[in-house]
């Protein structure tokens, strides 16, 4: 009877194991502007040996998975191209990924010369829960295809990092329960831009490992007992390429003597706290400010900045209003930003009041409505 019992056990366990394997996914190929390219695994995609997830957030594998080594081909693309990542389980157009593995999909970019090391990863796109379905559900419905539009980048070689963040076991933390925890699926795609129509260089990004923490609400999340609308995608905000055209230096030139006298210059770097004083000028998170006083009786203020309104005060002289990133303070408003939405930051131009909660500073580029 023992062999028979063992056989029954094996027959019962095999379907469970198969379901576990079916759950995983990887990128097999890329399409550019709707045209499928050649098969990408270990050709222009730095593909891992299996489709297993990365769960150790301190591992170097968080950058490009476990096979972060150059591959022989680099795809040529142009600024503004639509790059489509084609995901699958064992191959393209199969079951893609188990629908139990709900979660967001994000895309990062970094210079290839960095090999993914350091603060080089810039978020190009993210898709989480849209009020009715998760990004993974859209991916499966779209036969494994997920797209991003390339910004107006200057010529060079880049790594694209598409990533699925599967939350089905994210109610547990990997360091406490190694068999569970959030599951990351990613690899790096080698691309190059050769045409010189683009002009943007990548800003400073985040580091992998490092950008994700086990305590992040987008990493430690109970998929089954939480409101999906409350989910916060981990990592930095999506890069706004338009912000690259604005300066990140604050400078002030102040003269309180007659025009025939010399001018005293006072300069300071971008403040790291919400408020910084430059000479007699108080600056609230600005891109560029130039203040000049030509005579004791004639006072002029010239301002250049590119963001929502705030105030610069010239002590004992005059007060004027300039455009600076909003979000440092506000009151609740029925027409304000929803909870967990963006309400301020450098180059942000939207609503700065919150329906509920308070608009809180997360970094120079991102304020968020939080309780």
Q: Are residues 229 and 350 in the same domain?
A: no
Q: Are residues 178 and 199 in the same domain?
A: yes
Domain-embedded: residue 1: no
64, 100: one domain: yes
Structure tokens at 18: 């198969």
Indicate whether 11 belongs to any domain: no
Do residues 140 and 263 share a domain?
Answer: no
For residues 278 and 223, state if they share a domain. Answer: no
Last residue of one domain, picked from the residues 239, 265, 287 = 239
- Specify whether the CB–CB gap between 346 and 327 falls below 8 A: no
Taking only the tens of pLDDT, the chain with its 371 residues reads 444 444 444 444 444 444 444 479 999 999 999 999 999 999 999 999 999 999 999 999 999 999 999 999 999 999 999 999 999 998 888 889 999 999 999 999 999 999 999 999 999 999 999 999 999 999 999 999 999 999 999 999 999 999 999 999 999 999 999 999 999 999 999 999 999 888 999 999 999 999 999 999 999 999 999 999 999 999 999 999 987 654 333 333 333 333 333 333 333 333 333 333 333 333 333 333 333 333 343 344 444 444 444 444 433 433 333 333 444 444 577 788 877 678 887 767 888 988 888 888 876 767 877 77
Whether 170 maps to a domain, the answer reads yes
Residue whose pair of structure tokens reads 């000479």 in the numeric block: 279
173 and 191 assigned to the same domain? yes
Cα(65)–Cα(60) distance, integer angstroms: 8
Which of 183, 196, 44 shows the shortest CA–CA distance to 100? 183
Contact 347, 306 (CB under 8 A): yes
41 and 103 assigned to the same domain? yes
Number of independent structural domains in the chain:
3
Residue numbers of the domain that contains 360: 325-371
31 shares its domain with 146: yes
Residue 15 falls inside a structural domain: no
Domain's final residue, options 239, 263, 281: 239
Cα–Cα distance measured from residue 33 to residue 269, given in angstroms and rounded to the nearest whole number: 41
Inside any domain, residue 7: no
Same domain, 35 and 163: yes
| Domain contains 10 | no
Are 263 and 361 within one domain?
A: no
**Do residues 105 and 210 share a domain?**
yes
Q: Of 223, 239, 255, at which residue does a domain stop? A: 239
- Residue 13 covered by a domain: no
- The set of residues, in sequence order, having a beta carbon less than 8 Å from that of 70 and lying 6+ positions away, is 46, 190
Structure tokens at 262: 């010399």
Same-domain pairing of 133 and 282: no
Q: Across the chain, how many H-helices and E-strands are there?
A: 3, 22
CATH number at residue 187: 2.70.50.70
Is residue 4 assigned to a domain?
no
How does strand 75-77 pair with strand 188-193? Answer: parallel
Is the model's pTM score more than 0.85? no
């Amino acid at each position: 009877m023992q062999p028979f019992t063992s056989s029954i056990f094996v027959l019962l366990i095999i379907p469970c194991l198969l379901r576990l394997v079916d759950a995983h996914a990887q990128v097999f190929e890329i399409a550019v502007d709707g045209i499928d390219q050649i098969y990408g695994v270990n050709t222009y995609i730095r593909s891992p040996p299996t489709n297993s997830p990365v769960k150790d957030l301190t591992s170097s594998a968080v950058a490009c998975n476990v096979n972060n080594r150059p591959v022989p081909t680099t795809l040529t693309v142009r600024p503004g191209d639509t790059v489509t990542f084609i995901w699958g389980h064992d191959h393209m157009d199969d079951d893609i990924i188990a629908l139990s593995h709900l979660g967001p999909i994000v895309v990062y970019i970094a210079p290839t010369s960095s090999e993914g090391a350091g603060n080089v990863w810039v978020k190009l796109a993210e898709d989480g829960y849209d009020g009715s379905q998760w990004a993974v559900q859209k991916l499966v419905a779209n036969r494994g295809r997920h797209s991003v539009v390339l910004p107006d980048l200057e010529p060079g070689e880049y790594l694209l990092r598409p990533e699925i963040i599967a939350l089905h076991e994210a109610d547990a933390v990997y360091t406490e329960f190694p068999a569970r925890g959030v599951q990351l699926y990613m690899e790096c795609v080698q691309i190059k831009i050769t045409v010189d129509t683009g002009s943007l260089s990548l800003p400073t990004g985040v580091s992998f490992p490092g950008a994700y923490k086990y305590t992040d609400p987008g990493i430690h999340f109970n998929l089954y007992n939480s409101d999906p609308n409350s989910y916060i995608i981990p990592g930095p905000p999506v890069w706004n390429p338009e912000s690259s055209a604005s300066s990140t230096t604050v400078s002030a030139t102040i003269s309180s003597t007659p025009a025939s006298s010399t001018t005293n210059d006072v300069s300071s770097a971008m403040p790291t706290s919400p408020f910084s004083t430059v000479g007699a000028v108080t600056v609230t998170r600005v891109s560029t400010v130039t203040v000049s006083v030509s005579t004791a009786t004639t006072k002029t203020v010239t301002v250049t900045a590119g963001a929502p309104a705030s105030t610069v005060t010239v002590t004992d002289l005059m007060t004027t209003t300039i455009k600076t990133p909003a979000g440092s303070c506000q009151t609740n408003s029925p027409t304000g930003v929803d909870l967990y939405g963006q309400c301020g930051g450098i180059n942000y131009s939207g609503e700065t009041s919150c329906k509920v909660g308070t608009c809180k500073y997360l970094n120079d580029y991102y304020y968020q409505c939080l309780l």
